[in-house]
Amino acid sequence: MRLSYFRKNLLHFIYKVFILFGPIMRQLTILLLVSIFSSNGFVSAKELTLAVVPKFESVFFTQSKIGCEAAAKELPNVKCIYVSPGEADIRTQDKIVKKLIADGVDGIAIAVGQSKFLAGNSLKQAKQAGIPIVTYDSDFDAATLKKYPDLRSAYIGTNNFELGKALGEQLQINRPNGGALVIQSGRPDSPNLNLRIMGIRSALSGNRYDSPPGTLLTGENGWIEVRKPFFNFDQLPRAVKQLDTVLKGKRVQADAFVSVGGWLQNDEKIYRDLITPYKKSLTDNKISIVISDASATQLVLLGDKLTTANVGQSPYEMGRQAILTLYKIINNQPYQEFIYTPLNICTQQNYKTCTKKD
């Protein structure tokens, strides 16, 4: 940071005093120099408070909290606060951000629940207050970024199109001749989830789409979507009910089910109770179930052959890199605008090692 004209002259004067006068004046001069440089950002004892705001509370987002806290320990004078809306609710998420602004936080990392609403309300206010914003896990959609090009400084998280492709590829491996498919998602206006849906459709059809979520599969490479995607609005009970409908095969008949989020497995017991009666159908390949994310409990379910495959993300690293990036932004250090965290392809064969680092 540059010194003002006044401070440059003051600094020159203090230097002369330092040279011409005795030890006492020199000590006073040193204290004054520290004060000047501290106010210009060269020396700062101020603790930075950096906030992480997930979409909702889950095993996945709890890992981002742990990553946030780990990064704070790596940095000098940094405190991580994790503020969750509990259940998915856009207005609650918006209120959380407004409260963080009022509390004077120094930076915000947020998993965007709904682009247009958050950008036009709390996040715009945060930007106006001079609080840097990064997104993690879920970025703004293209239209919002075009309208507010400087709203967020960076995105940290999964390449969501590639995650969708990986989900589709696991389904293709299990059912090479295609099948009758149902896709499960969260919100219809969630930009990251729509990219995942487009990735699934691209992997299965071999087609490229102009914009997410692509178009319904109607027979490409043997794949037919028997209905539009189920949207559970990030609610576990609704997600469970939707899979139950597919498993019973009464209203919806399908032999392939893919979920672009880990909602179904947020509660191991609920998922286990739901799927155990159909374990033989999974074993006999009468139905394939591929689910996003690969937490420890999800891998237990995979090892028990209650899922066909999982494609894991890196929520811990998302939380960690979000805090490291905010710290760099605040301290005027170089940073990456996009940090794509790695995927883990987990199957019934490699579930014990798929998330292990070399």
Element (H, E) at 256: strand 256-259
Q: Taking 80 as the threshold, does the pLDDT of residue 13 lie above it?
A: no
d(Cα 334, Cα 355) in Å, to the nearest integer? 30
**CATH code matching the domain that covers 48-158+315-342, chosen among 3.40.50.2000, 3.20.20.70, 3.40.50.2300, 3.40.50.920:** 3.40.50.2300
Determine contact, residues 292/196, Cβ cutoff 8 Å: yes
Predicted TM-score (pTM) of this structure: 0.81
Quick check: 191 and 139 in contact, CB under 8 A? Answer: yes
| pLDDT tens track for 174-194 | 999 999 999 999 999 998 999
pLDDT in tens, 112-158: 999 999 999 999 999 999 999 999 999 999 999 999 999 999 999 99
Rounded distance, CA 271 to CA 310, Å?
A: 14
Work out the average pLDDT over 290-311: 97
Q: Domain 160-312 carries which CATH code?
A: 3.40.50.2300
The 3-state DSSP class for residue 205 equals: helix
Residue range 35-68, pLDDT digits in tens: 444 444 443 457 999 999 999 999 899 999 999 9
Which position has the higher pLDDT, 2 or 357?
357
Q: Can you give the pLDDT at residue 289?
A: 98
Identify the burial level of 8 via C-beta atoms within 10 angstroms of its C-beta, where 0-12 means exposed, 13-18 middle and 19 or more buried. Answer: exposed
